[in-house]
Amino acid sequence: MLRSGPIPREREDRLRTLGGAVVSQPQHIGSGKVRELFQVGDDRLLLVASNRISAYDVVLPQEIPDKGRVLTGLSHYWFEITGSFCPNHLISVREEDLPDVGLSDLPGRAMLCRRADPIAIEFVVRGYLSGSGWKEYVASGEVCGHKLPEGLVESSQLPHPILTPATKATSGHDENITEEQAAKIAGEDVYAKAREYALKIYAKGAELARERGVIIADTKFEFGLIDGDVVLIDEVLTPDSSRFWPEDRYSPGGPQPSFDKQYVRDWLDQSGWDHNPPPPELPAEVVAATRDRYVEAYERVSGRPFEAWKKEVSG
């Protein structure tokens, strides 16, 4: 069970230097498929990435060791890189800045962030034809209203990245929508700015990852509003929000090997599971192999050892 505890005096002083009000009792305000969310004062949030893993919108019974640290480590890496051209909600990941919320093993899994009003759209950027985009292309020659060239095969690189927005479902599956529909939901000016940021972040991320032997086939971003400004929130270019493919094994014409949770999805599909709860238990070897893929994704994309990230955030 989650519990909250008081912030030690030295951390309270440190939080005040970072700005914002401090409360003595952080409040647990939400649980997602992967993250726990705590309110820290009126305008701060603590996002804690667990080791839970979900597939087809169902949380699986086993956890993946170190998965939460990989997600937080990569998000921190990309927030730092893209912060020069896209504002974000990150304040700190250092242990000394994190309030005590009663969870063990917090450093490396938690981000102290500014609170934003989320935009109710997922900004999906596709550089390659895979997943639901491939299925839609086969059926119609289009992806979310984007007419694509004839003759593309599964995993083909697209002539240029496209943005294919989706609604954010509180339960069940997200629904792909057109850009015109997304602009009506978010407001034209807000949507245009978030769209600009999403395409820039994907372009920068894809370029840097490719230099390190990783193809970012597609990804999804979330944005929010702080004082009326569009800011990047949640996670960024992680194995949970993206398809990472090893460049040296890329071969269009079918599914690609990956560093993301597609490995788990493939095992579940082969198990005969119908995608409805309860899900089957993952074998120990699948858990271990998935953990290895997540850690390799961090090390390949960031260019640094995973252990270095764990040391960086520890006080």
Each domain of the chain, given as residue ranges in start order, spans 9-115, 118-261
C-alpha 218/C-alpha 241 separation (Å) is 8
Domain formed by 9-115, architecture: 2-Layer Sandwich (3.30)
Task: Identify the pLDDT of residue 22.
Answer: 46
The CATH number of domain 118-261, selected from 3.20.20.60, 3.40.920.10, 1.20.1730.10, 3.30.470.20: 3.30.470.20
In tens, the pLDDT along 116-156 reads 999 999 999 999 999 999 999 999 999 989 999 999 999 99
Please give the average per-residue pLDDT across 222-237, as a whole number: 98
In tens, the pLDDT along 184-203 reads 999 999 999 999 999 999 99
Task: Identify the pLDDT of residue 2.
Answer: 38
Band (174; pLDDT cuts 50, 70, 90): confident
- The yes-or-no verdict on residue 261 having pLDDT over 50 is yes
Please give the average per-residue pLDDT across 49-62, as a whole number: 93
Q: What percent of the chain has pLDDT over 90?
A: 80
Task: Identify the pLDDT of residue 14.
Answer: 47
Handedness of CA 156, 157, 159, 165 (dihedral sign): positive
- The yes-or-no verdict on residue 166 having pLDDT over 90 is yes
Go through 4-24 and write b for each residue having 16 or more CB atoms within 10 A of its CB, e for each that does not: beebeeebeebbeeeeeebbe
In tens, the pLDDT along 2-12 reads 334 444 444 45
Length of the chain: 315
* Alpha helices (runs of H) in the chain, residue ranges in sequence order: 9-17, 67-82, 131-140, 179-186, 188-211, 262-271, 284-302, 306-313
